[in-house]
Structure 1
Amino acid sequence: MNQAVAAKGNSKVQKMAQTALFMALIVLMAFTPFLGYIPLGFTRATIIHVPVILGSLLLGPKKGALLGGVFGLTSFVNNTINPTVTSFVFTPFYTLGEFQGGIGSLIICFIPRILTGVVPYYVYQLFLKKGKKDVSAPGLVCAGFSGALTNTLLVMNLIFLFFREGYAAANGVAETAVYGFILSIIGMNGIPEAIVAAILTVLIGKVLLNKKVRSKIGF
């Protein structure tokens, strides 16, 4: 009985340590210039969703959601202390002329990122054969792609929902044309991000999700 309790306690500590490791990686990437967030003027490109996706696959959707929340927090901090012209869509503490962030900024900043840590797990589960725990390369590709696209599609569409007028003004686009502009960002920025995420997820995930490797590193 005592051994079972001790083993359960050790497992919890191990999970906490693993989660903390992914958190540290996310924070490191977020605050290393031109690594986690790459300023493009109209937005910031990012690859921070990759450790969130991998963490979701290794640790499960609850921990994935937590890692996504950390991703959102780094975005919030970055846009507050190092703003671009469109930072008001990610933080209520930045103003551009008459346009100011608000509760919508927090929704945009956190909800898509939290779901980025949840969606890939369930997408990957669809590719696992019943009764088998083999690594699925197609599943990893789709998990990486879907995780990145979850972030991009939700962020950009929520921007349109909450801040279309301000976002149009910040980018010098007519309000009637702003959704077309958003679609162009999804195409030029979001799709390449998703492809990169898919490639990195399958390359790294095939190693980390391997049974022998997982047993050695404790995942």
Structure 2
Amino acid sequence: MRKSKSNDIAIIAIFIAIMIVIQFLSQIIYSFWPVPIKPTLLHIPVIIASIILGWRKGAILGFVMGLISFINATIVTSPSSFLFSPLQPNPATQHGSLSALVIAFLPRILIGIFPFFIYKIAKNYAGAGLAAFVGTATNTVLVLGFIYLFFHETLHQTFGAFIASIVTVNSLAEVVIAIILTMAIVPALEKAIK
């Protein structure tokens, strides 16, 4: 029992390290990136962990993704920082909002849960691809949905603009990258575990 728990902690620590490296490298690469498309990649290890390790560990890693988002928004001030950190002031009210914690954490935790159950339906390449699609869509739709719900007046965002923000080249790039990587990595990890 003790060995199993220490193995679980070690595996989760490896996934967290991978997430930190992805976040750090993304920040560096995107600062020089000449193309306006800047897909989020941090959700991919969460999706893979959900499929391989189960929904509980996936939810833990989703929480870590939310924590990384919260810390980044708190430390690196940008025009959208108030959406992910209550410690950053909303330009309209000049104070932070606890709604930012919902945006930062809830969608990311759910990224760690949904792919596990989707993959259980079909444990093959197609199932891995569908799980990646659902995980990525969970992030995109819920983050943008909560932003619209809590901050549409601050952002002067209409419902049409909200829908348009979901279907962007950036979102499509995130989906394609997540599907390709998940379909490639999950079967390889499953073989390695067996």
Q: TM-score, normalised by structure 1?
A: 0.79
Cα distance in 1 between the residues matched to 2:57 and 2:148:
29
Q: CA deviation at 1:38?
A: 7.5
Aligned alpha-carbon RMSD (Å): 2.4
Percent identity of equivalent pairs: 36
Choose which of 61, 71, 78 in structure 2 pairs with 1:67: 61
Cα distance in 2 between the residues matched to 1:19 and 1:36:
25
1:194 corresponds in structure 2 to 175
1:31 corresponds in structure 2 to 24
Contact kept, 8 Å, 2:91 with 2:154, in 1: the verdict is no
Would the alpha carbon gap of residues 35 and 117 (structure 1) be closer, same or farther in structure 2, given more than 3 Å must change?
A: farther
Asked if 1:14 is matched to 2:7, the reply is yes
**Match of 2:87, SS?**
coil
Unaligned runs of 5+ in 2: none
Would the alpha carbon gap of residues 180 and 36 (structure 1) be closer, same or farther in structure 2, given more than 3 Å must change?
A: farther
Q: CA deviation at 1:32?
A: 2.7
Structure with higher helix content: 2
One-letter code aligned to 2:20: V
Contact kept, 8 Å, 1:119 with 1:147, in 2: the verdict is yes
Contact kept, 8 Å, 1:86 with 1:167, in 2: the verdict is no
Contact kept, 8 Å, 1:38 with 1:44, in 2: the verdict is no
Work out which structure has the larger RCO, using CA pairs closer than 8 Å and 6 or more positions apart in sequence: 2
**Equivalent pairs, count:** 190
Would the alpha carbon gap of residues 44 and 179 (structure 1) be closer, same or farther in structure 2, given more than 3 Å must change?
A: farther
2:162 corresponds in structure 1 to 182
Choose which of 79, 85, 88 in structure 2 pairs with 1:85: 79
Structure with higher strand content: 1
Q: TM-score, normalised by structure 2?
A: 0.89
Would the alpha carbon gap of residues 36 and 199 (structure 1) be closer, same or farther in structure 2, given more than 3 Å must change?
A: farther
Choose which of 119, 129, 132 in structure 2 pairs with 1:141: 129
2:185 corresponds in structure 1 to 204
